[in-house]
Structure 1
Amino acid sequence: MAYRHLFFDLDHTLWDFETNANETLATLHARHGLAQYGVGLADFNRVYNDVNHALWRLYQANKVTQQQLRDVRFPRTLAKLGVAAADVPPTLSAEFTDILPEKSAVFPQTHETLAYLRGKYTLHLITNGFEDMQHRKLASSNLTQYFDQIITSEHSGHLKPDPRMFAHALQAAGATAPESLMVGDNLECDVLGAHNAGIDQVYFNPAKRRHFVQTTYEISSLDELREFL
């Protein structure tokens, strides 16, 4: 059966999370004078990204809640950088979640590729990101226009790679697994999750990282989708 429905991940696939997060961290670093505690911007970015990734893995495994993730990531980051707990600005997390989704950087060829595909397929978004943040990101980067259904883990009650998340997405889209294709950057959540739900996958791998996971397709640039879709 030919594909009719394309499902896209958002962060790290379309919306350039690293660029947008680093810009936000630079704003917070300057606003709160973190250099006075011996915290350089490069170290702040690096350690935050490491801490955040680790916490997201726990969140996706249902081992921490959304609120715990938000509450812990900045105190843990600054503790690793030698900042005393009493000196950690208490509003960092709230400021981060306020500024970040207003950023608009997307990966190269995002708009051009989505505009091309929208004329041929029905496009949907399926994301583990927090619902309030994801809708703001889509609006800020002018991506909302491309998608018929925007399916978040909060709304579905499940997180990728749980097959129930994909089943919910298929039902919301009025699609079947054989006529659907998942595009995402995460081998576990997007590729293996879709595979286990009977959905073909495109692994978006812009860094061309070596791996040993069997994927239906693999691309390093979004415009490569045009080569087979």
Structure 2
Amino acid sequence: MKAYRHLFFDLDHTLWDFETNAHETLEQLFADYDLARHGLFTFAEFSSRYRDVNHALWRLYQSNKVTQKQLRETRFVRTLTRLGVAEADIPSDISDRFTDILPRKAAVFPHTHEVLTYLKDKGYQLHLITNGFEDVQHVKLASSRLTNYFEEIITSEHSGFLKPDPRMFAHALARAGATAAESLMVGDNLECDILGAYNSGIDQVYFNPDKRRHFAETTYEISSLAELRNFL
């Protein structure tokens, strides 16, 4: 068994349960802004359309085709106009409210705290490497009581690069004082986390809780964070 010393984790969709937290936030916004009054869509339709729009914009952001500002300003306008709301009727502060409320949510994936405690007690150096926005990632970590597990918290904004760019991983290794050979990347995204780490010479753990079918080659694959204890 290979001896790892440094474990790099993605945050959203790997430790912090983005879907659960986003769902709760969207429910609050739907009620607070009385979006049902338009009579054009249900909450389920609003939530589904938002997810589609947000996912598409994040892919553009990760390809450097839109900026953070454009992503934040556009996602609710696109969501609501596509559901039939006139642009003039879209609340001007809805995106800011979403950005304020969401990171204060605390849902994490099952076994997150116990596994991170186990790994830290075993002497592994734990780090975060995330494409998420700097101003919200630290709030998420604090809200979900994750901050103290990690030695280094590396964000794309701070490094100047986005996963899967090898320069992001090189920056993370340098920050952690680690080599690729002694490091392991844990993440849910086959392109950003798994392929990015592979191309940087770093072994990978693909976190696949929904057991989605794929054809990628990964060093390890797990459907529960508890499975990390099987080989670490």
Say yes or no: does 1:134 pair with 2:137.
yes
SS in 2 for 1:159: coil
SS in 2 for 1:83: coil
Give the aligned partner of residue 157 of structure 2: 154
Q: Give a deviation string over 1:39-81, Cα, whole Å, max 9, x none.
A: 3111111110110000000000000000000000000000111
**C-alpha separation between the residues in 2 aligned to 1:125 and 1:119?**
17
SS in 1 for 2:3: coil
- TM-score normalized with structure 1 length: 0.99
- TM-score normalized with structure 2 length: 0.98
Give the aligned partner of residue 48 of structure 1: 50
Give the aligned partner of residue 175 of structure 2: 172
> Aligned-pair RMSD on alpha carbons?
0.6
Amino acid at match of 2:11: L
Query: Pick from 84, 92, 95: which aligns with 1:93?
Result: 95
Give the aligned partner of residue 8 of structure 1: 9
**C-alpha separation between the residues in 2 aligned to 1:33 and 1:7?**
41
Say yes or no: does 1:82 pair with 2:76.
no
Query: Pick from 156, 174, 199: which aligns with 2:202?
Result: 199
Displacement after TM superposition at 1:33 (Å) = 0.6
**C-alpha separation between the residues in 1 aligned to 2:197 and 2:86?**
43
**C-alpha separation between the residues in 1 aligned to 2:120 and 2:185?**
15
* % identical aligned pairs: 74
Amino acid at match of 2:16: W
Displacement after TM superposition at 1:86 (Å) = 1.0
Query: Pick from 187, 190, 207: which aligns with 2:190?
Result: 187
Say yes or no: does 1:34 pair with 2:70.
no
Give the aligned partner of residue 25 of structure 2: 24
**C-alpha separation between the residues in 1 aligned to 2:66 and 2:166?**
20
**C-alpha separation between the residues in 1 aligned to 2:8 and 2:167?**
15
**C-alpha separation between the residues in 2 aligned to 1:43 and 1:112?**
36
SS in 1 for 2:128: strand
Q: Which runs of 5+ in 1 are unaligned?
A: none
**C-alpha separation between the residues in 1 aligned to 2:82 and 2:71?**
16
Amino acid at match of 2:47: N
**C-alpha separation between the residues in 2 aligned to 1:178 and 1:79?**
49
SS in 1 for 2:117: helix
Amino acid at match of 1:11: D
Displacement after TM superposition at 1:2 (Å) = 1.2
Q: Give a deviation string over 1:207-228, Cα, whole Å, max 9, x none.
A: 0000000000000000000000
Say yes or no: does 1:225 pair with 2:228.
yes
Displacement after TM superposition at 1:199 (Å) = 0.1
Amino acid at match of 1:61: S
Displacement after TM superposition at 1:128 (Å) = 0.1
Q: Give a deviation string over 1:104-137, Cα, whole Å, max 9, x none.
A: 0000000000000011200000000000100000
**C-alpha separation between the residues in 2 aligned to 1:115 and 1:40?**
41
Query: Pick from 117, 120, 123: which aligns with 1:118?
Result: 120
Query: Pick from 69, 72, 77: which aligns with 1:70?
Result: 72
